[in-house]
Amino acid sequence: MVDDEVRQLYERYQSAESDEERHEIALEMGKLDGRRHADIYTALEDE
């Protein structure tokens, strides 16, 4: 589930030791967020 993935990424972000690592995790979060929005739009179209 996307929310579990986001939680795991957030925990990794909090424990990241470098700005580069945080940047990579932020990019992954952005991809997940985009996927979640796509799921919402799909659900709305199906109504």
First-to-final CA distance of the chain: 21
Give the number of domains in the chain: 1
Instruction: State the residue range of the domain holding 23.
Output: 2-46
| Tens digit of each residue's pLDDT (9 = 90 or more) over 5-37 | 888 988 999 999 999 999 999 998 888 888 888
pLDDT of residue 15: 96
Within a 10 A sphere around the Cβ of 3, how many other Cβ atoms?
A: 9
